[in-house]
């Protein structure tokens, strides 16, 4: 440890003295503050600061993602092997999952990291730790069969257009990872939607009955005139299986259980807001109930799906826990968070049921709510100002 400290202080002197070295200072600074705790001293009138900082926030976010990460690597491998082997065991599945996941993750990390470094050097700022979370979230919302080039393009869009152009972490108005996914979704619809992209290696296999390997949500849209739940069970999608996450889907979205564990960590550590999650759950429950009651299942098959199935299908739980709660792109006022959550919940169920074009709607709902968040806040602030003026005139 002493050696590390000594090397770093030596290097620091070199950065101060040599001009040519200063260009890579942001990289050095990030590494330096990653390894050793900072000793910057308070300058203002508040002398004591809490040990709560952005680095620990981000590391808790990553800890919250670990259960999802481990499960999703396993499940991705499982879904890939299941095409040829009826019941693959844990270790081969996990290794296969790593084989699929690691190239995607490393591409995200390297390409996105390079962009971060370029912007940090240009701005003469330290590299922001927020990227570590974005780079972990992004691969988890991609289908396993995505190509490396597409991943590189997607993360470039996420980092450059959705985040850095607006000033970096904390100034972005939409969730960068979702922004990147939207870009891929609209640019390469063939690789992002469909029935056989969810199994790595399945694209080339024409012989399999692709409908049996589609995601439950995709499947549901075609099951007209029948008992939806029974039909889903016929295809092997029971509620328990979907809750645990042994179904095809984007790499990280399948398991509701691991998302609940993540939600508990995020909420107890006060990184994400319980208000957003509660608002979204409440609104989706209400919307779902109304649709179940009012709509004809013959026109829209999903309108007969009960609420607890919505929760475990598609990206509902993952999006709600890890994407909607992002404090930067969510509404900032407490009441605003409720409205923001309600908007997300309402949109998810409405779009899922009535939009037959796309299979899932979580990404669109959250992005739409992201864009509406400043408006929601503005309205609440306006009321606050009005209230203040009122007691001003009393």
Partner 1 sequence: MQIFKIKNGLDINYPFKPERKLIPLPVPETIGIHISDFRGIRPKLLVEEGTSIKGGTPLFNDIKDKELAFISPLPGKIKRIKRDSHYKLKLIEIDINVDLGFLEHQKLSLQDIMTLSKETALKTAKNRGFFSFFKTRPFNKVPDTNSLPKAIFINACNSAPGELEQGFILRDHLKELKTGLAFIKKITSSKIFFCVNTRKDADLYKEILQDTGTYLFTGPHPSGLTGTHIYKLDPLKEEELIWNIKATHLRTIGSSLNQGYFDATRFITVSGSNIKKNAYYQTVYGMPIKTILKHTAYNDKNSNQTINGTVLFGEKKKDKDYLSWNEDNIQTIEIKTSRNLFGWLLPEKKDEEHNNTLKGDLRSIIQTDIYDTVTPLNIYSNFLIKAILDNNLEEAIKLGMLELIPEDLALATYLCPSKIDLCQILEQGLTEAEKEL
Asked whether the beta carbons of 200 and 251 are under 8 A apart, the reply is no
Distance in angstroms (rounded) separating the CA atoms of residues 284 and 279:
8
Site for partner 1 in 240-279 (CB under 8 A): 270-271, 273
Size of the site for partner 1 (CB under 8 A): 57
Rounded Cα distance between 176 and 161, Å, is 8
CB of 55 or CB of 308, closer to partner 1: 55
Q: Which of 26, 77, 97, 130 binds partner 1 (CB under 8 A)?
A: 130
φ and ψ at residue 19, rounded to 5 degrees:
-70, -40
Q: What is the C-alpha to C-alpha distance for residues 344 and 14, in angstroms, rounded to an integer?
A: 51
CB-wise, 18 or 388, nearer to partner 1?
A: 388
Residue 56 or residue 187: which is nearer to partner 1 going by CB?
56
Q: Residue 87: CA atoms inside 13 Å, Cβ hemisphere, count?
A: 0
C-alpha distances out from residue 185 to 100, 150, 292, Å: 20, 10, 29
In the block, residue with structure tokens 């996105």: 112
Interface residue with partner 1 among 27, 31, 57, 285 (CB under 8 A) is: 57
Q: Does 123 sit near partner 1 (CB under 8 A)?
A: no
Which of 15, 27, 33, 372 is in the footprint of partner 1 by CB under 8 A? 33
Pick the piece of the chain touching partner 1 (CB under 8 A) from 37-45, 69-77, 142-150, 235-243.
37-45
Q: Which residues of 6-35 are buried (b: 16+ CB within 10 A; e: fewer)?
A: eeeeeeeeebeeeeeeeeebbbbbbebeee
14 scored as a contact of partner 1 (CB under 8 A) = no
CB of 71 to partner 1, least distance (A): 24
Q: Is 231 in the site for partner 1 (CB under 8 A)?
A: no
Q: Select from 28-36, 205-213, 285-293, 355-363 the region that touches partner 1 (CB under 8 A).
A: 28-36
CB neighbourhood size of 2 (10 A) = 6
Q: What is the DSSP string of 165-229?
A: GGTSTTT-SS-HHHHHHHHHHHH-HHHHSSSSSSSTT-TT--SS-GGGGS-HHHHHTT-TTS-HH
Considering only the stretches 137-145, 151-159, 190-198, 323-331, report the one whose residues sit in contact with partner 1 under the rule CB under 8 A: 323-331
Smallest gap, in angstroms, from Cβ of residue 96 to partner 1?
31
Q: Helix (H, G, I), strand (E, B), or coil: what is residue 128?
A: coil
Q: Which of 20, 37, 225, 240 binds partner 1 (CB under 8 A)?
A: 37
293 in contact with partner 1 (CB under 8 A):
no
4 scored as a contact of partner 1 (CB under 8 A): yes
Smallest separation (angstroms) from partner 1 to the CB of 268 = 14
Which residues here bind partner 1, judged by CB under 8 A?
1, 4-5, 33, 35-57, 59, 126, 128, 130, 167-171, 270-271, 273, 327-328, 330, 332-334, 337, 377, 381, 384-385, 387-389, 391-394
């Amino acid at each position: 440890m002493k050696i590390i400290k000594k090397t770093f202080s030596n290097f620091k002197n070199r950065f101060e003295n040599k001009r040519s070295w200063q260009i890579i200072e942001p990289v050095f600074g990030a590494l330096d503050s990653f390894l050793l705790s900072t000793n910057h001293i308070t300058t203002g009138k508040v002398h004591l600061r809490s040990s709560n900082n952005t680095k620990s926030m981000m590391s808790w976010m990553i800890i919250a993602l670990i259960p999802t990460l481990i499960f999703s690597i396993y499940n991705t491998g499982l879904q890939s092997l299941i095409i040829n082997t009826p019941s693959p065991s844990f270790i081969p599945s996990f290794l296969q999952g790593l084989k699929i996941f690691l190239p995607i993750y490393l591409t995200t990390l390297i390409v996105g990291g390079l962009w971060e470094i370029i912007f940090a050097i240009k701005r003469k700022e330290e590299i922001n730790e927020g990227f570590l979370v974005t780079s972990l979230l992004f691969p988890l919302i991609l289908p396993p069969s995505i190509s490396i080039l597409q991943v590189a393009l997607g993360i470039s869009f996420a980092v450059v257009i959705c985040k850095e152009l607006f000033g970096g972490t904390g100034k972005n108005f939409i969730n960068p990872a979702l922004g990147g996914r939207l870009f891929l979704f609209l640019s390469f619809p063939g690789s992002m939607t469909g029935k056989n992209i969810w199994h790595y290696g399945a694209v080339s296999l024409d012989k399999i009955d692709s409908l049996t390997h589609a995601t439950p949500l995709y499947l549901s849209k075609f099951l007209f005139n029948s008992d939806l739940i029974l039909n889903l069970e016929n295809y092997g999608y029971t509620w328990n299986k979907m809750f645990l996450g042994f179904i095809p889907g984007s790499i990280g979205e399948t398991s509701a259980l691991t998302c609940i564990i993540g939600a508990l960590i995020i909420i107890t550590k006060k990184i994400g807001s319980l208000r957003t999650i509660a608002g979204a759950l409440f609104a989706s429950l209400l919307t779902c109930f109304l649709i179940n009651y009012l709509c004809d299942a013959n026109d829209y098959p999903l309108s007969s799906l009960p609420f607890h199935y919505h929760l475990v299908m598609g990206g509902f739980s993952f999006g709600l826990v890890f994407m909607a709660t992002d404090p930067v792109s969510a509404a900032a006022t407490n009441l605003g968070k409720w409205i923001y959550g309600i908007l997300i919940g309402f949109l998810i169920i409405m779009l899922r049921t009535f939009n037959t074009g796309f299979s899932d709607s979580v990404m669109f709902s959250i992005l739409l709510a992201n864009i509406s968040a400043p408006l929601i806040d503005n309205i609440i602030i306006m009321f606050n100002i009005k209230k203040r003026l009122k007691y001003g005139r009393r």
